[in-house]
Amino acid sequence: MKFKHRSAISIASVVTVIVVWQLAGQFKWVDPLLLPPPSEVVRTAVDLMVHGYQQVPLWQNILISIARAVFAFAASILIGVPLGLLMGMSPPFSAMLDPFVQFLRPLPKIALIPLTVVWFGIGEGSKFFLIFISSFLSIVVGAAAAVQGVSSARLRAAQVLGASRTQIFRHVVLPNTLPELFTSVRLSLGIGWTSLIAAELVASNSGLGWMVMNAGDYLRTDVVIVGIVLLGLIGYLLDVLLVLAQRRFVPWSGKDA
Amino acid sequence: MMVTESLEAGPDRLSDALIRLVSVGKVFDDAPSSADQRGRKGRSTAGTNALTDVSLSIAKGEFVALLGPSGCGKSTILNMIAGFEKPTQGSVIVGGKDVIGPGPERGVVFQKPTLFPWLSVIDNVTFGARMAGIAPSVYLPRAEDYLRRVGLKGFERHAPWQLSGGMQQRVALARAWILNPSILLMDEPFGALDAQTRMMMQELVSGVWTLTGTTIVFVTHDVDEALYVADRILVMSARPGRILENLTVDAERPRDIEALAADPRIGALRRHILHRVRQEVRLSIEAFS
């Protein structure tokens, strides 16, 4: 299917859902208190931008959530990628860390929230830790797997061209793992974003997650929906940025020669 | 048909030999690789017998084809000369020394181009030179020269995946040959190409070889390919591989495919080889059924 056709269908489908949603509110098919129509959501969004939610401007909540995510995410890449590469290169090292990684990785990170609150309070520390630990683990696993995915044919080709062990790592293994690294970074971004919101929902007094939770307590479903839409859009936007970066930096992704 | 016990295929004077295999045998472990061997002690360790008692010698500057049915172990011989694999019996000697690992003096062209997709064509071709720390002023003119030789002038900045399979294999050829290896090992390098491209590649290799005089070991299962490129053809048996025959291709260079096809002596040689290879294929099929 052509890209143009695909996008046309996608846009039409989104517009249809919004129109039906609007009509459902307009004609009271559903109680607007349970599901406020798009027109009201937009009005609320504008109001939040101008007046803020409980005196906190909307952009401030957006920024603080993004800042938390980006900061912890960057840290998990900076530590997780080298650690994963090391695990991929060294079987003993991998054997040493693997049990912990494999235990923690499938663990729902929400279960760690009570502990993190006890350890770090409800300040920035607990948020950082939760996002970090969830994205970090999946990056480590992804990076380790990426190293092992280097084909022996490619390694042999480098060997007969006279490359030393360190040269092979630097000039073959690293570039060879980049496409997969990008993929695991994308996956872990989603995971990190999810944990951030979970953390903000439970233990926070700022951020989009907090705004959604708090508005729910006061039955401000319009604010809740504004928050949900923003959370979804920002997550989508971050992913698109990563896809663009991937196209820019690893154009050979998925290509073979 | 009898096979002489002492058949050491190759030049009479052993001192001339650049590559020597002495009673080489290779048995592959059927057991999984060492990484997941735990708890498997009771397993039989018979393994697959890939090669038995292979002796051959190849002189400097020779163009030798290893011909045989698939699975006969011809690639294994190549991999042992390259240093990727070790013999389980006998020894593999290159330049008077036992082969202990891969090295740039033994270039390899694989069945697949095996280029580095993150590097441009020119960066692929100059990979070896850059790893060796040679100055760009030295390797760049040489690389241009080799790219012209393989007909890829103007494609320097292309990415490998933007090229056709035949062009990719030409990049691989230039990448291996530019390092001026004393031996070039080719493992069915044109097996994946279409018939026309393959013929062109055979002419190319034959032409460049005439210029450089590199010692070439060329693995193939294609009788016509072996006849066209090589000076000497070693015909191998079905698994476990042995060398059945050592045949000289007596034809002038530069060779012309059409003239070669018309030459009655080559025709007789071709029939003879086909007969032997077909016999071996039949044997290996019977062994499986």
Residue in B with minimal Cα distance to A179: B118
> Please, which contacts does A67-70 make with residues 24 or more away whose CB atoms are closer than 8 Å?
A68/A124, A68/A127, A68/A128, A68/A131, A68/A196, A68/A207, A69/A131, A69/A192, A69/A193, A69/A196, A69/A238
Residue B149 inside a domain? The answer is: yes
| Domain presence at residue B36 | no
Cα(A40)–Cα(A61) distance, integer angstroms = 20
**Domain extent at residue B134:** 116-180
Q: Judge whether B203 and B147 are in contact, CB under 8 Å.
A: no
Q: Would you say residue B273 lies in a domain?
A: no
Q: Specify whether the CB–CB gap between B237 and B214 falls below 8 A.
A: no
| pLDDT mean over B52-59 | 93
Tell me the C-alpha distance between B94 and B61, whole Å: 13
Q: Encode pLDDT of A106-132 as tens digits.
A: 888 888 888 888 998 878 888 899 899
The encoded tokens of residue A235 equal: 């997550």
Residue A41 — very low, low, confident or very high, per pLDDT cuts 50/70/90?
very high
- Chain-centroid distance of CA B66 in Å reads 7
Q: Which residue of A has its CA nearest to B112?
A: A257
Q: A90, A161, A170: which to substitute to probe chain B, counting the most B Cβ within 10 Å?
A: A161
Size of the A and B interface in Cβ pairs below 8 Å: 78
CB A24 within 8 A of CB A35: yes
Give the Cα separation of A94 and A101 in Å (integer): 10
Q: Is the Cβ pair B117, A257 closer than 8 Å?
A: yes
**CA neighbor of B108 nearest in space, from B140, B130, B126, B81:** B81
Arithmetic mean of pLDDT, A92-105: 92
Per-residue confidence (pLDDT) for residue B1, from 0 to 100: 37
> Would residue B268 count as lying in a domain?
no
DSSP classification of residue B38: T
The residue with greater pLDDT, B34 or A230, is A230
User: What is the count of structural domains for chain B?
Assistant: 1
Q: Is the dihedral angle over the CA atoms B227, B230, B231, B234 positive or is it negative?
A: negative
| Helix/strand number for chain B, H first, E second | 9, 10
- B156 within some domain: yes
State the average pLDDT over residues B255-282.
Answer: 90
Strand B183-187 versus strand B215-220 pairing type: parallel
In a domain, residue B159? The reply is: yes
Own/partner contacts of A46-54, CB < 8 Å, gap of 24 or more, are A48/A223, A48/A226, A53/A211, A53/A214, A53/A215, A53/A223, A54/A214
B47 in Cβ contact with B29 (< 8 Å): yes
Instruction: State the Cα–Cα distance between residues A65 and A209, nearest whole angstrom.
Output: 8
How far apart, in whole angstroms, are the C-alpha atoms of residue A74 and residue B94? 51
Q: Is the CB of A160 less than 8 angstroms away from the CB of B117?
A: no
Which whole number is the average pLDDT over B161-176? 94
A176: distance to nearest CA of chain B, Å? 8
Quick check: helix, strand or coil at residue B139?
A: helix
Q: Do B127 and A161 touch (CB under 8 A)?
A: yes
Residue B58 in domain = no
Place of tokens 């050829």: B173
Instruction: Please give, rounded to a whole number of angstroms, the shortest distance from the CA of A148 to a CA of chain B.
Output: 13
Instruction: Provide mean pLDDT across the span B164-174.
Output: 94
Beta-bridge partners for B51: B26, B241
ipTM of the complex, rounded to two decimals = 0.85
Q: Please check whether residue B76 touches A, CB under 8 A.
A: no
Find the range with the poorest average confidence among A66-80, A193-207, B59-73: A193-207
Describe the crossing of helices A38-51 and A58-89 by its angle, rounded to 10 degrees.
100
Is B168 a member of any domain?
Answer: yes
**Model confidence pLDDT, tens digit, residues A149-188:** 889 999 999 999 999 999 999 999 999 999 999 999 999 9
Determine contact, residues B81/B24, Cβ cutoff 8 Å: no
A252: chain B residues, CB-CB within 8 Å: 117-118, 159, 161
**Residues found in chain A:** 257
Asked if omega into B32 is within 30° of 0 (cis), the reply is no
Enter the pTM of the model. Answer: 0.82
A91 chain-B contacts, CB cut-off 8 A:
35
Q: Which of B73, B208, B205, B101 is nearest to A158 (CA)?
A: B101
A11 CA to chain B: closest CA distance, Å? 33
Task: Enumerate the residues of chain B whose CB falls inside 8 A of the CB of residue A157.
Answer: 108, 110, 114, 116
CB–CB contact B115 A257 (8 Å): yes
Lowest mean pLDDT among A198-212, B236-250, B258-272: A198-212
Token readout for B237 is 């048996």
